[in-house]
Amino acid sequence: MSAVGLASIVPDHGFAAEVQMPSLSLTALPVGSTAVYPGQGPCRIGRAVKKVVDGRVMMFYHLTVLDGRGVELFVPVEKACSIGVRLLLKESEIPELLAHLRKGARPADHWRQRADDNLKLFNSGSLFDLAEVVASLTEQRNNRKLTFGESGTFERAKRLLICEISEVTGEPKTMVEEQLDQVLNEKTGISLIDPPTP
């Protein structure tokens, strides 16, 4: 379990009506709803909890990552917006996302620039940016074998993409993965399952 600071944890059932934030609030993220944490993917919202950090009482979202690993996160309510916690993509936006994925992306020529670009896109928390990472690395796979680091980035970005689309549409992850593979195969003509031989 990930924790922020050492503190006593006290659930606060009446806190939702007290805190308002510009784009996210506890009323916008009720217990049992789903939000996305950058780099972790969709998370189930638990009860707001109080923690004492450096002598100061703070309120935290309790998030459980939905990728099956059982990871739990505590995110300060006052910083949730600035670190990129967001609501799930709307189902009506999925066609636009798939169109974005079909467009592909031209990766930078230098490996260091590619790594920097992918890291920025990955950490933005945007599903469209994750799609760009997947599309870019798929383009690279068309030309050469990915490095160990690139393969890890590709698999992680693809997993997060699949997880959120599955949460939004209610379709099984295996079905979503097949659909994504089909979209990317239309663009590149190569399979995401079997990488090209060197």
Alpha-carbon distance 177 to 103, whole Å?
18
* pLDDT reported for residue 77: 85
* pLDDT reported for residue 92: 93
Q: What is the pLDDT of residues 1-13, one digit of tens each?
A: 433 332 323 333 3
For 52-83, letters b (16+ CB in 10 Å) and e give eeeeeebbbbbbebbeeeeeebbbbbeebeee
Q: What are the residue ranges in the chain where pLDDT is below 70?
A: 1-28, 104, 187-198
* pLDDT reported for residue 118: 85
- Residue among 9, 45, 40 at smallest CA distance from 27: 45
* pLDDT reported for residue 74: 92
* pLDDT reported for residue 187: 62
* pLDDT reported for residue 42: 92
* pLDDT reported for residue 22: 35
* pLDDT reported for residue 28: 58
